[in-house]
Structures are given as structure tokens and as C-alpha cells.
């Protein structure tokens, strides 16, 4: 029997969280069997006679004594009259004996059937005897033990196959091979934290992007775990976990374990992200009202990772905009157009005044509300309201002419590279 996966990441998961894949190995070559011996005690030995337990060259001799004499002695057995008292005495002196209990689990029934089960695979069968010829012990059954044998130098082999975008080109790589020891349950957790290093590039939006869907190339990666048994110095038959997706982000652990978002979705769905057939807003809470200004870029992100769909599966998103003008008038249900998202992607949609071409509809905008929803599911609407303020001071661009006749641009939020820049700057300007 080969290694198996008993816990795997979700189809879409977050690399910022602790991702693991848990494997169950097969280090056992021969399963082994524990020795079991069952005796029935019909008649206990009389006082001053022995009760001997022997196995594997070890011998434990107990002497039957009066109840008072035997009470505090480990190798004295009290001469009880009632059968349940006899049972309790056998448990106390034999089943709970320190040396015997290290090798066997001993049980005693109400009819004084005493069973010795070896704690380790293999083990010896147990014999009972007595110096009293009137004592009666009968052997019920024996199961010989078989020692368990393990595969030589057993470990679990694993490596990751990663598909990602690098400089706008698709790159497929594999990590170096890794070997993992298994625990007492033959399990090992394969950490996937090295996936975080795959997000070295980011998708930088343009300041004046036109209205359309921009697929994020660097926000997600595809990966597959290749794994196998490893023993006798060789990697055995390779197995592969079907491709999963990791995204550059992090959610709270409770949401992550259920594969749910921890941000506000349009209809507060409880379905897993990988089970949603319609796009879900990605990290952008629905229903917010935010301050903005006319020239400020605004964006919303949507994701679609529908596990039951193929690579060609896609959904169309409709966009509608309602404008509230400064004079109290409204322009409603403006249609900037629709965008499409294909399966296993995250997209960015620009929502600034310019990208939505809102100045074609009004020049006195006080606020505007954007609604985005799937064409086939208009009730799943994402909504956000932008209140336009006067352009703040920090967003203005200033130009100064230097004594070398060059014009230098700066904003009030620029930081100096060295102390005292204001004084030096003022001395160099005309």
C-alpha cells in the first residue's frame, strides 16, 4: 500500500496563512501481530502456595496469603472468598504489577478469565502454574505474536511543481526534493510556506486605466504536490495532487479553514470560495461609502475559482452607476459596459470618474454609486459609494526651477533623503 493524502489544501487558498498538506505513509513492511494468551482460573491456590506467571524467560512468583497479610505486599495475593473479590485481587496484584504491565495489557473477567495481550508486536505467550496440586488453571487460547518489520530508512518524499508568471511570461519550476520523517501514526505534515516566496512581483495598476477587466498575473500561482514513499534509498512510485491555487493574501484562520472570505460579500454567502459559480469580490467589502476626489484612481477586484468548472468557464459582470449632483439632481443607471472573468483568475476593474467616463453625464458630481453584478444573478450585487471631495493639498504637484535651469516636480508628501533638505532646496531655487 502506498502513501496517501489525508488532508489537502483548498482549491483556492491564501499563501499568507499556514498551508500544509498532510500525508499518511506506509513504513511497515510486515504488519505484525501481538501475542495474546487467555486462561481460565477455576480454583485459586491455597494459602502459602505459589501462583506463577511466566513468559520469555521471565518468571513472577506470587504467594497466596491471608487477606490482612497480602494487603500491602506486591507479590502476595489475598485468599479471597467471593469471586468478585478474587477478580479485584488479581487485577491489583497481576494486571497492575509494574513489570508485567510494561509488557502486557491484562484483563480479568467476572468469571476469572485472565487475558494477556502483548503491548508490542510479537511478544511471548504467557503460562500460569502453581505449587498447589488442587489449583486448577486451564488454557483457553493462544495467539502467537509476529514481530513487525519496517521498510529500511523509510521517509516521505515530496516536491512542489509551481506555475506562475514572471515578467509577464509563464514559468514552470519545481522545488528541490524534500524528505520527511513520519510520526508514530505514520503521518507527516508537508509545509507549503515556501509558496510565499513566489509572489516577488505585483500587478501595478495604471493611474488612468480605461474601464475593462485587467487580469492579475502575479496575484495567484498554480501548484501541485508530487509525493511518494522513500525507502531502501529510493523514491518509489510518484503520485500527484491535482493543481491547486494560492493567492497572495491572508484571511483569519476561522475563515481559512472553511474556505470562506473574511470580508463582506454582496449576499454574505456561506458557500466555499471554490464552490461559487459566480464571481466574488476579492478583499473589497461591499456596501462601503468612501471619500474620494475626481482624479483619484479607484479599483475593485473580483475572483472566480469555481471547482466544478473548467478553464473555459466564465461569467459576465454588469456595471451600473448612479450619480448624485451637487444641485440635488440625479443621473441613474448609467451603463459603462460589461466585463468578463474567466475561471481561476482575479481581475481588477477601475472605478474612477475618468475610467467610468462620468464627466460625459455630469460636471457637478457630488457622489456616485457603483453596482456590479453577474448578468445571470442580478441579486448578487456589489455596491460602493464614492463621495467626491476637493482635491487635497497633498495630492497637488508643484514645480520649482533650479539654478541649473531644470524644472523639478515634487509633492508636499515627499520625504527628504537627508536632513536639512528644505534649507538647501531654498538656496538652490531662483
347-379 per-position pLDDT tens digit: 999 999 999 999 999 999 999 999 999 999 999
- pLDDT at site 406: 54
Q: Is residue 367 part of a domain?
A: yes
State whether 280 and 335 are in the same domain.
yes
State whether 382 and 277 are in the same domain.
yes
Q: Is residue 274 part of a domain?
A: yes
State whether 265 and 381 are in the same domain.
yes
State whether 82 and 57 are in the same domain.
yes
Q: Is residue 13 part of a domain?
A: no
State whether 384 and 308 are in the same domain.
yes
State whether 363 and 278 are in the same domain.
yes
Confidence band, pLDDT 50/70/90 cuts, at residue 2: confident
- pLDDT at site 423: 40
State whether 304 and 418 are in the same domain.
no
Q: Is residue 174 part of a domain?
A: no
Number of domains, the chain:
3
Is a pLDDT exceeding 70 seen at residue 413?
A: no
Task: Convert the pLDDT of each residue in 201-238 to its tens digit.
Answer: 889 998 889 999 999 999 999 999 999 999 999 999 99
State whether 318 and 403 are in the same domain.
no
State whether 355 and 378 are in the same domain.
yes
Picking from 90, 111, 143, the residue at the C-terminal end of a domain is: 143
Q: Is residue 2 part of a domain?
A: no
Is a pLDDT exceeding 70 seen at residue 426?
A: no
Confidence band, pLDDT 50/70/90 cuts, at residue 428: very low
Task: Convert the pLDDT of each residue in 144-196 to its tens digit.
Answer: 999 888 888 999 999 999 999 998 899 999 999 999 999 988 999 999 988 99
- pLDDT at site 147: 86
Q: Is residue 27 part of a domain?
A: no
Give percent of the chain with pLDDT exceeding 70: 91
CATH number for position 288: 2.60.40.10
Is a pLDDT exceeding 50 seen at residue 419?
A: no
Q: Is residue 29 part of a domain?
A: no
Is a pLDDT exceeding 50 seen at residue 120?
A: yes
Task: Convert the pLDDT of each residue in 33-86 to its tens digit.
Answer: 999 999 999 999 999 999 999 999 999 999 999 999 999 999 999 999 999 999
- pLDDT at site 287: 95
- pLDDT at site 424: 39
Picking from 143, 164, 188, the residue at the C-terminal end of a domain is: 143
Question: What does pLDDT average to over the chain?
Answer: 90
State whether 276 and 385 are in the same domain.
yes
Confidence band, pLDDT 50/70/90 cuts, at residue 400: low
Give percent of the chain with pLDDT exceeding 90: 79
Q: Is residue 355 part of a domain?
A: yes
Picking from 143, 173, 203, the residue at the C-terminal end of a domain is: 143
State whether 284 and 304 are in the same domain.
yes
Domain span at residue 367 reads 260-391
In degrees and rounded to multiples of 5, residue 86 shows phi and psi of: -60, -40
State whether 268 and 339 are in the same domain.
yes
Confidence band, pLDDT 50/70/90 cuts, at residue 32: confident
- pLDDT at site 397: 56
Amino acid at each position: 500500500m502506498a502513501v496517501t493524502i489525508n488532508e489537502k489544501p483548498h482549491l483556492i487558498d491564501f499563501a499568507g496563512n499556514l498551508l500544509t498538506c498532510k500525508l499518511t505513509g506506509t513504513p511497515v513492511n510486515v504488519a505484525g501481530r501481538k501475542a495474546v494468551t487467555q486462561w481460565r482460573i477455576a480454583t485459586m491456590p491455597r494459602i502459602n502456595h505459589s501462583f506463577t506467571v511466566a513468559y520469555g524467560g521471565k518468571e513472577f512468583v506470587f504467594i497466596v496469603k491471608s487477606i490482612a497479610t497480602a494487603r500491602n505486599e506486591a507479590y502476595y495475593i489475598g485468599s479471597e472468598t467471593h469471586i468478585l473479590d478474587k477478580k479485584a485481587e488479581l487485577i491489583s496484584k497481576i494486571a497492575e504489577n509494574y513489570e508485567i504491565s510494561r509488557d502486557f495489557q491484562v484483563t480479568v473477567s467476572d468469571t476469572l478469565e485472565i487475558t494477556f495481550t502483548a503491548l508490542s508486536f510479537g511478544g511471548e505467550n504467557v503460562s500460569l502454574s502453581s505449587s498447589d496440586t488442587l489449583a486448577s488453571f486451564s488454557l483457553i487460547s493462544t495467539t502467537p505474536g509476529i514481530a513487525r518489520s519496517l521498510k529500511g530508512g523509510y521517509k516521505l518524499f515530496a516536491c512542489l511543481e509551481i506555475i506562475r508568471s514572471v515578467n509577464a511570461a509563464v514559468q514552470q519550476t519545481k522545488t528541490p526534493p524534500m524528505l520527511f520523517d513520519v510520526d508514530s501514526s505514520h503521518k507527516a505534515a508537508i509545509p507549503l510556506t515556501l509558496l510565499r516566496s513566489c509572489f516577488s512581483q505585483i500587478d501595478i495598476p495604471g493611474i488612468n486605466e480605461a474601464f475593462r477587466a485587467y487580469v492579475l498575473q502575479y496575484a495567484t500561482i498554480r501548484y501541485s504536490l508530487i509525493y511518494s514513499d522513500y525507502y531502501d534509498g529510493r523514491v518509489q512510485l510518484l503520485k500527484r495532487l491535482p493543481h491547486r491555487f494560492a493567492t497572495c493574501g491572508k484571511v483569519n484562520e476561522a475563515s481559512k479553514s472553511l474556505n470562506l472570505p473574511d470580508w463582506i460579500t454582496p449576499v454574505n454567502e456561506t458557500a466555499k470560495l471554490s464552490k461559487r459559480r459566480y464571481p466574488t469580490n476579492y478583499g473589497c467589502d461591499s456596501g462601503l461609502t468612501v471619500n474620494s476626489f475626481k482624479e483619484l484612481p479607484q479599483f475593485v477586484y473580483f475572483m472566480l475559482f469555481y471547482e466544478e468548472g473548467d478553464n473555459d468557464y466564465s461569467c459576465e459582470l454588469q456595471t451600473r452607476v448612479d450619480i448624485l449632483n451637487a444641485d440635488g439632481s440625479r443621473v441613474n443607471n448609467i451603463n459603462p459596459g460589461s466585463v468578463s472573468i474567466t475561471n481561476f483568475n482575479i481581475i481588477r476593474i477601475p472605478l474612477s470618474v475618468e475610467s467610468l467616463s462620468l464627466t460625459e453625464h455630469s460636471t457637478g458630481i457630488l457622489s456616485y454609486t457603483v453596482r456590479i453584478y453577474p448578468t445571470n444573478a442580478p441579486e448578487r450585487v456589489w455596491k460602493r459609494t464614492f463621495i467626491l471631495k476637493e482635491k487635497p493639498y497633498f495630492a497637488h504637484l508643484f514645480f520649482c526651477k533650479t539654478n541649473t535651469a531644470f524644472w523639478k516636480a515634487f509633492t508636499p508628501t515627499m520625504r527628504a533623503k537627508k536632513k536639512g533638505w528644505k534649507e538647501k532646496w531654498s538656496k538652490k531655487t531662483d
